[in-house]
Amino acid sequence: MLASKTLEGNYIKFASRSSNLSAISGRFDIEPQFGGGGVGDSDSNNLTIVEQSAYLSRPFSHLFSILLPTKEQTSLLQACLWSGRRGERAWAEWREDIGDPARFLREDSDGVKGLLALLFHSLQDKNVSIDKEFQTYLRTAYVRDELRSKAYSQICRDVTSTLTSAGISAVLLKGAALAETAYPLPVLQHSHYLDILVKDDDLPRTVNLLTSLGFTRSSEPNGYEWKKYELVHESGLPLLLHRRLFAFPFFQIPVEEFWARSRIQTMSGVPTRLLSPADNLFHTCSSVFDAEQHDSLRWVCDAWFIIHLCPDLEWDLLIDCARRSHTVLPLFVTVSYLADALKAPIPSRVLTQLGDAVSKANEIRREAALFSVQTSSRGGLMKILRSCRDWRTSASVVQWALFPSPTYLRWIHDIRCSWLLPFYYPYRPLKFIVRQMWFFAKRQIRLLSGNAPQQEAELKH
């Protein structure tokens, strides 16, 4: 019996925040994706390098930063990650800016609540005095996350040991791999999923083995879902079996390279295969622009601890992967944020080389990055349009939305017959208008029935 079962009496089950992640990859079109509300909607980002960079296409530079943490979130991350006097100042400034820390954190916007354990640990380590009520709030969250982390680790051990015993090679990804190898304590990495990379031929047998551990099949892969397969544990923890590192087919290089550079490391007494540090950082930062939802700030913490754990990181390997996988622009945006906003120790030559590669990026690479912003839970087409600062930028976005390059259309819609291409230009805006009308009608119906006060507030806004 897994640990999550024994803890059930004291621990709330894993909240399956994926809620069937298969719905995410289906949004490869111009769809009305609204960029949510609350904290994540602030346009004030800490993005000196990104926004002022001469490497990026000027009309779009600040639009790419929609996917990055806001100013308030950046201040909170600084308070969590910085040590010593610098960390104390960051905490004091953030607390003064937001007024009520408990209220801000309880909103749980963009996964802010996932930083509670890390914040508590950081404040304890810096010996920062906080009021008793807020200290109790953080301590309670930390204890809850300790129980959650133990259950998560036990499930992870059961999965890896079972696959290893069956002779199946599997690579732990993201939080599952970093909690025990990069973070000071596993409890500080708040993961909502268990991500595992498997080989194509091993997928059927892996699924069958996992069902014996309390996992059930959540979705059948289809279309762009070829890269992952979702299962859900009886505790509610989603497990994603990946066959490639990225959901977007455009962001790919041969996965065999990552397998060749992977290494075995003992985690909780179980030999476990992990990506190399450079590949881990590449995957963490580039995934911000991938097709999966990124409603949390965990990627920032993951990247921070990877960089500090490996002072001799193979930066040249990371740059080479970015160039060959068409992710130089996503990587430049995210790595520049880490260097500028969080003062991460990233060599200046890395930013220069990534910037040079971005300046040579062709139109399809910029369109792909803008598409990532559109399909993200933090973005959406309407959010992009609202974020445009002048008519030139707005015109460029409208042109991209209505008349993208033929290469972009072939990639998005997987068009294999050239004669079909002209029909997609009128089809996409028509689909957008129909969907807008559909969502507007649904909101009106809910208003009339008196069951949607939140939707009413959004309409008035």
pLDDT at 393 over 60: yes
Query: What confidence tier does 442 reach under pLDDT thresholds 50, 70, 90?
Result: confident
For 45-69, what is the mean pLDDT? 60
pLDDT at 42 over 70: no
**pLDDT value of residue 437:** 87
Query: What confidence tier does 58 reach under pLDDT thresholds 50, 70, 90?
Result: very low
**pLDDT value of residue 2:** 40
**Which residue did the predictor score with more confidence, 297 or 274?**
274
> Whole-number mean pLDDT of the chain?
80
Helix (H) or strand (E) holding 94: helix 84-98
**pLDDT value of residue 427:** 86
pLDDT at 459 over 50: no
Sign, CA torsion 231/177/375/34: positive
- Measured CA to CA, the distance from residue 19 to residue 144 in angstroms comes to 22
For 339-365, what is the mean pLDDT? 90
**pLDDT value of residue 39:** 33
- Single-letter code of the amino acid located at 145: D
> Could you tell me whether strands 215-217 and 170-173 are parallel, antiparallel, or unpaired per DSSP bridges?
unpaired
Q: Where exactly are the structural domains of the chain?
A: 3-414
3-state class (DSSP) for residue 177: helix
User: What is the DSSP track for 95-139?
Assistant: HHHHS-HHHHHHT-GGGGGGGHHHHHHHHHHTT----HHHHHHHH
Which residues, including other chains, have CB under 8 Å from residue 175's CB and lie 6 or more apart?
A: 189, 190, 191, 193, 195, 298, 302
**pLDDT value of residue 255:** 92
**Which residue did the predictor score with more confidence, 273 or 416?**
273
List, for residues 231-261, the tens digit of each pLDDT value: 999 999 999 999 999 888 888 889 999 999 9
**pLDDT value of residue 108:** 61
Name 217's bridge partners.
231
For 311-318, what is the mean pLDDT? 94
For 406-420, what is the mean pLDDT? 83
pLDDT at 228 over 80: no
- Single-letter code of the amino acid located at 198: V
Helix (H) or strand (E) holding 357: helix 348-359
- Measured CA to CA, the distance from residue 42 to residue 65 in angstroms comes to 11
Share of residues in the chain with pLDDT > 90 (%):
41
Please give the DSSP secondary-structure letter assigned to residue 414. T
List, for residues 77-109, the tens digit of each pLDDT value: 999 999 999 999 999 999 888 888 888 887 766
Share of residues in the chain with pLDDT > 70 (%):
80
**Which residue did the predictor score with more confidence, 15 or 373?**
373
Which residues, including other chains, have CB under 8 Å from residue 301's CB and lie 6 or more apart?
A: 77, 80, 81, 115, 118, 183, 188, 189
Phi-psi region of 417 (alpha: psi -120 to 50; beta: other; left: phi over 0): beta
**pLDDT value of residue 19:** 37
Query: What confidence tier does 157 reach under pLDDT thresholds 50, 70, 90?
Result: very high
pLDDT at 38 over 90: no
